[in-house]
Structure 1
Amino acid sequence: MPVDLPNLRDVGGLTTHDGRPIRRGVLLRSALPAPDDLVPDDVHWPPAVVIDLRSEIEHGDGHPLQDLCPRVINLPLLSSLAPGRQDIDTLKTLYQMVVEDAAEMLVDLVHEVADADGPTLVHCAAGKDRTGVGVALVLRLVDVTHEEVLADYVLTDHAREAIDIRLRRDDIHPSYPVSFYLVAPDAIQAVLDHWDAHPGGTYGWFTEAGGDPARVERLRDRLLG
C-alpha cells in the first residue's frame, strides 16, 4: 500500500541573509524513496535528478526511482571516510569526518545540483545526516542563514516514526547507537562553524576542495532566480 515519502520536503522558501527566498521546485530532500510513494500535490514530482548518498552496502537491485527519473547519481559519502582514524561515537564526530574525508563528493553534489535541469532530490537512508550535511553546504553557498539551515535540519524530528518504519521495512541500515537516530543540532552547527572558520568561509572551503566558482554562480541562479 503506498505511503507518504518519509521526510520529504522542498527547501524552497528558506531565506538568505539579505532576505532572498530559495525558489520552490528546485531542491528536494527526503529519506529513501519508493516508486509508489505518495507526495503532496505542491511538490514537483518526479525529480529530474536524484542524488543518492547511500553506500553500496545499502543498495538493492538498482535505485527505486530509476524508472521514474532520467538521471540517478550515487555519491556514497560514508565510503570515503578514512579507516582507522577514530571511533565514530557521536553524530558530531560523524559529520566532521564527512566534511573532512568526503569533501570531493560534497563538491560533486554541489556541481550536480548546479547543473541539473529540473527538480533535484537529495536523499540517503533517513534523509538526516548525509543529506543534512550535503544540503547544508548547498544552502550556505547561496548564503542561507545558519538559523534557516538549522530550522530545516530539525524538521526531520517530525518524521522519525515514518523514517523508522521505512528503515525497518527495507532492512537497509546497520546497527548504530540509539543517539544516531535523533536529530543533532549541535552536530550540524559544528559543520556550519567549521565552514565559517575557513578562510573565505563556506565558499573558500568549497573552492579549496576543488569546487568550481562558476558552478556556485549557476547554483545561485538556479536557487535564487
Structure 2
Amino acid sequence: MTRRITWAGLPNTWDLGGLDGALGTTRYGRVYRSAMLDALDEAGRAELYDGGVRTIIDLRNDDEIAAAADDPFTRHHRPVEDQSDAEFMAKWPTLDSPGYYVDVLERWPDLVVGVFGVLAAPHTDGEDEAVLVHCAHGRDRTGMITAMLLQLCAVEREAIVADYLGAVRAIGDHVAATGDAAHIARESPELDARRSRELEEFLDVIDTERFLLGNGLSPADIDRVRGRLLR
C-alpha cells in the first residue's frame, strides 16, 4: 500500500500506516495527516468519508478558519499555539521549522494535550474509523503532533523524520506549482537540512508519554491513543 493519498487532489495527505517500530507496524487507514481541506467540494468530502475518515482535527487558529460546509464528519478545532502571543511570534516569526516545537509544549501544554484527548476518545463509528489531523500546509503544526504520536507508538526514529520530510517536500512542490512567491522564497535545501536536524533534536528531548501523563492524560488514554495506530 502507498502512504501518499490523493483524495480530491489534496496536495499533502499521508496515511500514517506501514511504519515499523518496537510495538509493531502502524496500521493503514487509521490516522491521516494533511494540509487544509477548505477547497474540498462535496465529491471530495465523499472521498474522505469513503476512505473511512469520520473525525477531523483542525490545528489552525481562529483567524485561519472559514465556516465549514455541512458534512458527515465530527470536527474538532484544536489550535496548538496562540499566535496573539507577541513574545512567541517575535521569537518564531515564520513557524516553518521544528525549532519552535519545544517552546509550544512549554507555553501551551493544555492545547497540545487537547489534541491527544481527541485521539484518546472512544470510537464513535466502529473500530476501523479514521482520524485526519491537519493545519494549513500540513507540515509544522501537523508535523509536531504526528512526530509525537509516532514516538508514542515507538515508531523508528528514521521513519518519523522521513514522514516529516515527505510532508515538507510535498507541500514545497505544491506551492512551487501554484506560484506562492512568498512561501517559495523561504524554501531551500539548507532549510530542509535544518528542519531535519531540529526534528531530531526535538525527538531527543521530548518523551511524549511522560509529557501527556504529566499534563492530564491517563494510562488508559495513552493506550487508546496507541490503539488508533497499533493493533
TM superposition outliers: structure 1 runs of 4+ over 4 Å:
41-44, 163-168, 174-177, 179-183
- Pairwise CA distance, 1:126: 0.5
- Pairwise CA distance, 1:13: 0.6
Within 5 Å, which residues of 2 pair with 1:130-169?
A: 130-156=141-167, 157-163=169-175
| Aligned-partner Cα distance in 2 for 1:175–1:78 | 21
1:73 aligns with: 76
Within 5 Å, which residues of 2 pair with 1:9-20?
A: 9-18=14-23, 20=24
SS in structure 2 opposite 1:133? helix
**Same amino acid, percent of matched pairs:** 27
TM-score relative to the length of structure 1: 0.79
The letter of the residue matching 2:75 is V
Q: Structure 2 regions of 5+ residues with no counterpart?
A: 1-6
Q: Do 1:30 and 1:127's aligned partners in 2 also have CA atoms closer than 8 Å?
A: yes
Q: How many pairs align?
A: 209
Q: 1:81 to 1:103 in 2, by over 3 A?
A: farther
- Pairwise CA distance, 1:165: 6.0
Within 5 Å, which residues of 2 pair with 1:1-225?
A: 4-18=9-23, 20-33=24-37, 34-36=39-41, 45=51, 47-60=53-66, 62-63=67-68, 66-79=69-82, 82-84=85-87, 87-88=91-92, 91-115=97-121, 116-117=123-124, 118-156=129-167, 157-163=169-175, 178-179=186-187, 183=192, 184-195=195-206, 201-225=207-231
Q: 1:80 to 1:203 in 2, by over 3 A?
A: farther
SS in structure 2 opposite 1:48? strand
Of 93-102 and 159-168, the range deviating more from structure 2: 159-168
1:64-99 deviations in Å (ceiling 9; x for gaps):
xx4233311111122278542552157244222222
1:198 aligns with: none
Q: 1:120 to 1:42 in 2, by over 3 A?
A: closer
The letter of the residue matching 2:28 is R
SS in structure 2 opposite 1:79? coil
2:3 aligns with: none
Cα RMSD after superposing both structures: 3.2
Q: Structure 1 regions of 5+ residues with no counterpart?
A: 169-173, 196-200
Q: 1:56 to 1:140 in 2, by over 3 A?
A: same
Q: Do 2:138 and 2:171's aligned partners in 1 also have CA atoms closer than 8 Å?
A: no
| Aligned-partner Cα distance in 2 for 1:112–1:167 | 35
Q: Do 1:35 and 1:68's aligned partners in 2 also have CA atoms closer than 8 Å?
A: no
